[in-house]
Amino acid sequence: METLVIEGGRPLAGLVKVSPAKNAVLPIITASLLAESACELEEVPALADVETICAVIRHLGAGVERRGGGLVITPPDRPATEAPYEFVRQMRASFLVMGPLLARAGRARISLPGGCAIGTRPIDLHLKGFALLGAKIAQTGGYIEARASALTGSRIYLDFPSVGATENIIMAAVLARGQTVIENAAEEPEVVDLANYLNAMGARIKGAGTKLIRIQGVEELHGVTHSIIPDRIEAGSFLVAAAITGGDVVVENVICDHLKPVVAKLQEAGITVEERESNIRVAGNGEIRPVDIKTMPYPGFPTDMQPQLMALMTLAKGTSVVTETVFENRFMHVNELKRMGARIKVAGRTAVVYGVRGLTGARVRATDLRAGAALVLAALRAAGETEIGDVHHLDRGYENLIDKLRSLGAAVRREERR
């Protein structure tokens, strides 16, 4: 088993550059299937999830080529229409090919994504949207099959502002006949980046970034060159790394607006945060005040930063309450943090974190991507050595994590251990 071994207790210092956003690049890669000609993405992070989505669209007939740090995607004239279990099992976001395939090929057969460590994660809202656009949906043998001879614009109200459903419906609707209106749409910056990409390709999407998105269908889309927004969750994770170690770090390549809820919580916790045009400096002074956190859809506090903030709160001077409203089971990191000396009690969707004076290194296991990030953060501050198992989860979403942490002075290495 591959593990990360971290010798804690070193304040991080220096400058770290954030990579392009995983959650923006994945739908953008699938949206490239909608174009009639090649698309170029200027900088694409080397992440396991990016490899997976590229394998999916290659399987569908697209050409995908690395060019420098970017990707050139040549969409197929007639895409294959099936995304098998092997891909969707590896990564749920593979389901984001369904919208483009319905739009381009009029049919799609995609393996039903299962639940995962953070929740059951149904796809009912995606399917409701496709059905309202005129698709016939059936489920057989663990696959969702959707067919539509022609999609027609419709009014779609989402019961919850699901990021994936908003993106998948946008991608299905851009080539539909007439107008689609998505109400209670997700407002996440990654939805906006996808809409900007599609609009540059010739789509007519208005209102992305608000709760009401209007899409006027067009005949066809053409290839473009696009640059992906910075990863706000990677950025937030480094901000917490500086805070938890009492370090002084400049996090470069950020859009400050996207980080408002995270920065606000760090400031409330007594951490010095200086926001500049494209970077944020964080200086921890060793003392962390307790803060309460409630995860919400954007612009609320992001669920993808909840485990990392909880790691910080384990060392606060007092008690914090963390409420997870987006996913029903996103507390798998709690027991692992407890192995390092944290005091946390969970009741339903609420965790009460009683700050302790210090954490100690231990053998722990990453159960998912952000749970893994929380353990890395705790380990950076803990006394002694922490060994984090199942690091493949971190490879999904943190590009060059070890090099970036080392450049800030962390003692971290990757090892094969039993």
Ligand X SMILES: CC(=O)N[C@H]1[C@@H](OP(=O)(O)OP(=O)(O)OC[C@H]2O[C@@H](n3ccc(=O)[nH]c3=O)[C@H](O)[C@@H]2O)O[C@H](CO)[C@@H](O)[C@@H]1O
Ligand Y SMILES: C=C(OP(=O)(O)O)C(=O)O
Kindly state the DSSP code that residue 141 receives in the 8-state scheme. Answer: T
- Cβ-based neighbours of 403, under 8 Å, separated by 6 or more: none
Q: Tell me if 49 is assigned to a ligand binding site.
A: no
Minimum Å distance from CB 185 to ligand Y?
17
Which amino acid, 135? Answer: A
Question: Could you tell which of ligand Y, ligand X, none binds residue 397, using a CB distance below 5 to 8 A set by kind?
Answer: ligand Y
Neighbours of 219 (CB within 10 A): 8
User: What is the b/e burial string over 82-118, where b = at least 16 CB atoms within 10 angstroms of the residue's CB?
Assistant: bbebebbebbbbbbbbbbbbbbbbebbbbbebeeeeb
Binding site for ligand X (CB under 6 A): 23, 26, 93, 119, 121-126, 160, 162-165, 186, 190, 303-304, 326-327
Decide if 116 is catalytic.
yes
Cis peptide before 76 (omega within 30 of 0): no
C-alpha dihedral sign at 361, 409, 405, 1: negative
**Residue placing its CB nearer to ligand X in the complex, 171 or 362:** 171
Residue 263 · residue 232 · CB < 8 Å: no
Question: Could you tell which of ligand Y, ligand X, none binds residue 162, using a CB distance below 5 to 8 A set by kind?
Answer: ligand X
**Residue placing its CB nearer to ligand X in the complex, 120 or 225:** 120
Is there binding between residue 193 and ligand Y (CB under 6 A)? no
Question: Could you tell which of ligand X, ligand Y, none binds residue 126, using a CB distance below 5 to 8 A set by kind?
Answer: ligand X
Is there binding between residue 397 and ligand Y (CB under 6 A)? yes
**Residue placing its CB nearer to ligand X in the complex, 38 or 117:** 117
Question: Could you tell which of ligand X, ligand Y, none binds residue 318, using a CB distance below 5 to 8 A set by kind?
Answer: none
Is there binding between residue 231 and ligand Y (CB under 6 A)? no
Is there binding between residue 21 and ligand Y (CB under 6 A)? no
Minimum Å distance from CB 15 to ligand X?
26
- At how many degrees (to 10) do helices 22-31 and 48-59 cross? 10
Upper half-sphere CA count for residue 79 (Cβ side, 13 Å): 32
Give the binding site for ligand Y (CB under 6 A).
23, 92-93, 304, 369-370, 397
Which residues line the annotated binding site?
22-23, 92, 121-125, 304, 326
